[in-house]
Each structure stands twice: as C-alpha cells, then as structure tokens.
Amino acid sequence: MESKTKNHQNLDENDKVKIIKFEDFQNELVRFSSLSSAVNEAKNTKSLLQEKLNSLLELEAESLSRSNKLDEMREKLEARKLVMGNMSMQSKVVQEKAKKQEDLLNSEIRSLLMAGTSLSVASKSLQEANNSLAGERGYVHLRNVQKLLRARQQFMVSQISLLYPVKFAAGHTTEQELDSFFSSSKAGIPSGSKSLDPGSLTISGLHLTVLPFKKISFFTDKKEVQSSATALGYVAHAVSLIAFYLEIPLRYPLRLGGSRTYICDYAPSVEPTSSDFASISLPFSSSKPMEFPLFLEGQDTTRSAYAVFLLNKDLEQLLNFIGAESLGPRHVLANLKELLNNILSPAYINS
C-alpha cells in the first residue's frame, strides 16, 4: 500500500506543469536554449574526455606490456650476464691452460731444435766416418792390415813349430795319426780327442812320459825324468813365444830356464784340485806370486804336478783366444799341437 501511494505521489509531481507568464517566456526560452547548448557542450566534452581517457588507457596498457617485456628482457639479460660471466671464467681457465701448453710446446720445440741440431751434427760425423771407412784408410784397409798381421803371426808361429816340432812317435802309421788327432779347425772341437794317447806325441823328439804326480823312487830312470823336464821346458818356451806373438798376457807367467823352468801363480789356492791328482795343500801368499817347478829333480812332486796343471791352463787360455777348445788337462803336447794346427790353418787369417 505504501509503495502504491509513493508512486501516485511521484506521478502527481511529474504531472505538475510549471506555468509561466508570457512576458517571462522569452527569458525562459533563452535560458532553456543556453541550458541545451551547455548540455550539448558537456556531452561533447564528455566524448572528448572519454576518447582521451581511452587513448590514455591504451597507452597505459601498452606501457604496462612494454614494461613487462622490459622486465622479461632484463631477466634474460641478467641470465645472459651470468652465463657470460661463467663463460668468461672458463675462458680464462682455458686461456691459462693454453698458455701453459704453449710454453710447454715452446720448450719442446726448442728441445726438438737442439736435438735436430745434435742429430745433424751426429749425421754429419757419421757420414764423415762412413766416408773415412770407405776410403783408402777405412775398414777395408783395416781388414787388410789385420790379415797381414795374422799372416805375420802365422809365419812366426810356423817358425816355432819348426823349432819345437810336435809329432807322433815312431811306430804310428799315418792312418792312426789322423784317426787319433784329427780336429776340425773351423769348429774348434777335436774329433778324436777321446782316443788320443798322451804318450804318442813328442816335442823335438822328446817324450813327456813321466807324470809329475808320481813319486820318484830309487829305481826311477833319471834320464827319463830329465827328458820330461826338457820337454816341459820346450813346451813352456813355445807357449811363451806364441803368447808374445799373439799379444796375449798369460794368466800364469813363465820364468824360462830350459829344463829348470818355473811357472808363477799370483793367487794360488789353499787346496788346488784337478782331474790329474787329488787335493794338494799348498802354502798361501798374497804378497807376491808363488813359483812352481816344471821339473821333478829335487822338487816336491805335488808342486811339479801343479806346475804342469798351470801350464795346461795357459795352453787352454791361448786355445780359447783363437776360438778353439782344450783337449783336456792330461794332454799337454796334444793341446800344443792343436794350438799350432789352428794358428797355421788358412782359416786363421780370415777369422
């Protein structure tokens, strides 16, 4: 009911019409016209302001989007700066490593250049050496001189073989001689050393039949003892001359005296042993060499036996020097003949 009464009241108020006088109509018309123009002007102003506001809003939105884009670009730029910083640090590390490697490479290059220079000098020296070897006084000349020297040594040893000929005793046939003593000079190994008879050889016609390690009795033939001593003196003299011609210092030097020859031992053993005799006690001296007699007369048989053993060692030394082998400790004359045969063979000059 109240609402209905209010509506009626509004309608009554709206239905009220203002009554003006005619003389005031002109003024009211002017006022209305001015109010209408003011309303139009306000509308125009409103539209202008709305357009400006819309443009400002658009500018603000565009500015905001650009600001957002600028923030994103700043974030990307910071990230790029961080990456660039890391890359710069890595670049510095790599640069330092490269510098170290460059310094190392420079030092290696310098070493290589020095080695190249040394190699060039060595190559030049080698070339000069090759030229000198290929020249008149080179290797060929050396070989010729060596052959001449060996030929001279062979000639001198041939004189020794003529001075002290080592031959088979009378009663041996040529077949027995070849079968019992034939040895291969090239191989240096005797083929008939097992069947060799020590008593079948003589030096200058003298037999070496008395074995020094046997005791001399009253019934011992003195001439045979003297003959063996003389034969040992011949062997010692021949060994001494051959060693001198071949320029070989003997391990056990000889003091020559014909049938009274001695052999020296600079380091004698306290108990020397060999296959020829049992262990023998000998005095030991470190100050000067001991001399052992190569004869039996008036001497201890053990010392004489040891002297023959040392003489055989000298023969073995000479045989080993020319590439041959010893026939054994019992074969003094056989070893001497083997030595002479090897030196006088044609293979000795070209060896």
Q: What residues are paired with 167 via a beta bridge?
A: 202
Residues 6+ apart with CB under 8 A from 343: 153, 154, 157, 242, 322
From the CB of residue 289, how many other CB atoms can be counted at a distance below 10 Å?
A: 15
pLDDT class of 137 with cuts at 50, 70, 90: low
Of 223, 212, 208, which is closest to residue 336 (Cα–Cα)?
208
The domain limits of the chain are 75-117, 139-168+200-268+289-344
What mean pLDDT, rounded, does the chain reach?
Answer: 78
pLDDT greater than 90 at residue 134: no
pLDDT at residue 4, as a whole number:
52
3-state secondary structure 302-334: HHHHHHHHHHHHHHHHHHHHCCCCCCCCCCHHH
Of 212, 245, 262, which is closest to residue 340 (Cα–Cα)?
245
pTM of the model: 0.54
Distance from C-alpha of 313 to C-alpha of 303, rounded to nearest angstrom: 15
Whether the CB-CB separation of 272 and 280 falls below 8 Å is answered with yes
Query: Can you tell me which residue has the tokens 């306290």?
Result: 270
Distance from C-alpha of 224 to C-alpha of 236, rounded to nearest angstrom: 18
Distance from C-alpha of 323 to C-alpha of 199, rounded to nearest angstrom: 26
CATH of domain 139-168+200-268+289-344: 1.10.418
User: What average pLDDT does the segment 253-281 reach?
Assistant: 68
Alpha helices in the chain (DSSP H): 2-15, 22-134, 139-163, 174-181, 222-246, 301-321, 332-343
Name the token pair of 136: 């008149």
pLDDT class of 213 with cuts at 50, 70, 90: very low
Residues 6+ apart with CB under 8 A from 237: 164, 256, 261
Whether the CB-CB separation of 147 and 349 falls below 8 Å is answered with yes
Angle at CA of residue 205, ends 170 and 310, nearest 5°: 115
3-state secondary structure of 254: strand
Distance from C-alpha of 89 to C-alpha of 111, rounded to nearest angstrom: 33
Residues 6+ apart with CB under 8 A from 139: 133
Q: How many CA within 13 A on the CB side of residue 275?
A: 6
DSSP class of 296? -
- Classify residue 63 as left (phi > 0), alpha (psi -120 to 50) or beta: alpha
Summarised one tens digit per residue, pLDDT across range 44-86 is 998 999 988 998 999 999 889 999 999 999 999 999 999 999 9
pLDDT at residue 312, as a whole number:
92
User: What average pLDDT does the segment 140-144 reach?
Assistant: 79
Whether the CB-CB separation of 312 and 332 falls below 8 Å is answered with yes
pLDDT at residue 274, as a whole number:
46
User: What average pLDDT does the segment 286-307 reach?
Assistant: 81
- Classify residue 171 as left (phi > 0), alpha (psi -120 to 50) or beta: left
pLDDT at residue 194, as a whole number:
41
Distance from C-alpha of 288 to C-alpha of 323, rounded to nearest angstrom: 32
Distance from C-alpha of 105 to C-alpha of 99, rounded to nearest angstrom: 10
Distance from C-alpha of 184 to C-alpha of 196, rounded to nearest angstrom: 15
What are the CA-CA distances from residue 287 to residues 282, 290, 304 (Å)? 15, 9, 22
Of 290, 192, 294, which is closest to residue 234 (Cα–Cα)?
294
Name the token pair of 326: 């010893």
Distance from C-alpha of 311 to C-alpha of 325, rounded to nearest angstrom: 15
pLDDT at residue 176, as a whole number:
39
